[in-house]
Amino acid sequence: MKKSILGFFLIFSAIVFSCQEPINGLEEAAIIPLPSSIQAGSGAFELSSSSRIQLIGSSKNLSDLGEFLVSKLKPATGYDLKVGTEEGDIQLVINGNDDSETYSLDVEKSKVTISASSEAGIFYGIQTLVQILPVQIESSTVVEESWRIPVGKIEDKPDYSYRGSMLDVARHFFEVEDVKHYIDQMAKLKLNYLHLHLTDDQGWRIEIKSWPNLTSIGAKTEVGGGEGGYYTQDQYKEIVDYAAKNYITIVPEIDMPGHTNAALASYGELNPGVNLPDGDFGTMKEGKIDFDILDKNPQPAELYTGIEVGFSTLATNKDITYQFIEDVIREISEITPGPYFHIGGDESHVTEKDDYIYFVEKVQEITAKYGKISIGWDEIATTKLAKGNVAQFWALEENAKLAKDQGNQILMSPAKRAYLDMQYDSTSRLGLHWAAYIELDSAYMWDPATYADGISKADILGVEAPLWTETIKSRADIEYMVFPRLAAIAEIAWTPTPKREWTDFQRRIAVQGKRWDMNGIQFYKSPKVNW
């Protein structure tokens, strides 16, 4: 009985899999993001158990890249391909030594060649190669299939150098394994920056050795009152290293001076002094209000598990605040190899304007002291931005304009298009909708270079899609909100706008959906696509 059920399933899955026709020519390949140029030839290369991966040129991690390709091909094909410098029919060629992300992928009947002048380029070439194999290549068990790759040539490079996503691990905490899984999915879309929103009112999620209460108190809860959590510095390093192996750079964010209730609950001294109601003169000393006493000993705030924003602020006028910030920035910078440190700066509604300006300018000096470029939400453009620092546009075009007028670049994350926490429509089971409902077509059909008045391509560092997690609690919730929209944003960041077409994207994303299905990714089956 058991055997016949197994037999039925084997036959059933063979039928299901065989329904997926292999593509005929390279022009039919469903590559996301779409490459700059695809020239189709005729015929195909056939991957076999005797294929070999040949490494050409020298670069520290070239053999790891070869092994990475093996690991992508092995589960579905069962082939344990050899990697080395001996002659092979799959060639990985490093032909330079720079940080260009350009690659070319040349498929002939007898061999496949990926060449690039950087390891990142080779990595992207490998991602493309996997996407032009039949979708069954995503299977985690061996599938009988002819592993044909249509002949032709792809030449490819990204339109923007910063292609990112943000994960809010503060509103709800996500384990290291969930972050790694997110990184895996980002890498397939050739995204190269993961911004971690590590602190907010509801939780502080990164160990700071010199300020231990941040985690012993500040990490204890999350939205809704769950148990929260945090990354030890070792775990953070593990994420940084894992990301680096996927050619992704981590951008840590410590949001300040607002969105700081978790820090304010951990250390009373970071809170502003008590605001006395009118007519209450508080503690008097020699006939004057004793501001020293009021300022030095405020009580710690209560932990917060709601989803309001804009009610908290660090004291901006105390030395202890800047000592705290310097310790935090130093400890995190030491374990962050990437160039950026995100200083937040959004929605500081209870910080006086002058105090906000003083604060943000001072914090930029501290990040610079530790060798980092500051990124901040667009409000930071109301202060004097240091040269090279970046404003992340999310809400106010006039702030983006202020950044540009100061000669600073802008990272594009318009909430109405790029926010992955926005509901798809009014029936979405998760998400918010204060900015917009964002269906897949709306996430896809915009151009960063024309979106905001007065901001053009040269002013833009890149594009980032943030996932805020007030309503997102699990990996399945993440997947539902992020996919397919992250693929749309990845294509906006990679593929020049004139080459992008919604109808062609609809065709390609349907194939990508089959791959996600095989990977067990529980994506949103948008009605805009014939899945």
Q: Is 101 in the active site?
A: no
Question: Is residue 397 a contact point for ligand TNX (CB under 6 A)?
Answer: no
Q: Are strands 103-107 and 112-116 parallel, antiparallel or unpaired?
A: antiparallel
In the bound complex, what is the minimum distance in angstroms from residue 481's beta carbon to ligand TNX?
A: 11
Which of 114/415 has CB closer to ligand TNX? 415
What's 422's DSSP letter?
A: B
CB-facing half-sphere around the CA of 61: CA atoms within 13 A: 15
Q: 204: left (phi > 0), else alpha (psi -120 to 50), else beta? A: beta
Which of 419/523 has CB closer to ligand TNX? 419
Member of 341, 377, 424, 444 binding ligand TNX (CB under 6 A): 377
The answer to whether the CB of 184 falls within 8 A of the CB of 246 is: yes
Q: How far apart are CA 80 and CA 390, in angstroms?
A: 45
In the bound complex, what is the minimum distance in angstroms from residue 491's beta carbon to ligand TNX?
A: 23
Q: How far apart are CA 432 and CA 420, in angstroms?
A: 10
Question: Is residue 421 a contact point for ligand TNX (CB under 6 A)?
Answer: yes
Other Cβ atoms within 10 Å of 283 Cβ, number: 13
* β partners of residue 203: 200
Q: 459: left (phi > 0), else alpha (psi -120 to 50), else beta? A: alpha
Question: Is residue 394 a contact point for ligand TNX (CB under 6 A)?
Answer: yes
Instruction: Please classify residue 222 by burial: count the beta carbons closer than 10 Å to its beta carbon, then call 0-12 exposed, 13-18 middle and 19+ buried.
Output: buried
Question: Is residue 70 a contact point for ligand TNX (CB under 6 A)?
Answer: no
Which of 231/419 has CB closer to ligand TNX? 419
Which of 125/344 has CB closer to ligand TNX? 344
Question: Is residue 346 a contact point for ligand TNX (CB under 6 A)?
Answer: yes
Which of 118/348 has CB closer to ligand TNX? 348
Give me 348's structure tokens: 């500081």
Please identify which of the residues 108, 155, 238, 347 carries the catalytic annotation: 347
Question: Is residue 253 a contact point for ligand TNX (CB under 6 A)?
Answer: no
Member of 274, 386, 432, 436 binding ligand TNX (CB under 6 A): 432
Member of 64, 178, 184, 347 binding ligand TNX (CB under 6 A): 347
In the bound complex, what is the minimum distance in angstroms from residue 440's beta carbon to ligand TNX?
A: 19
Q: How far apart are CA 363 and CA 343, in angstroms?
A: 8
Which of 423/512 has CB closer to ligand TNX? 423
Dihedral, CA atoms, 371, 374, 375, 376, nearest 10 degrees?
Answer: 150
Question: Is residue 309 a contact point for ligand TNX (CB under 6 A)?
Answer: yes
The answer to whether the CB of 439 falls within 8 A of the CB of 419 is: no
Contacts (CB under 6 A) with ligand TNX, residues 449-468: 468
The site for ligand TNX (CB under 6 A) is made up of: 309, 346-347, 377, 394, 419, 421, 432, 468, 470
Catalytic residues: 347
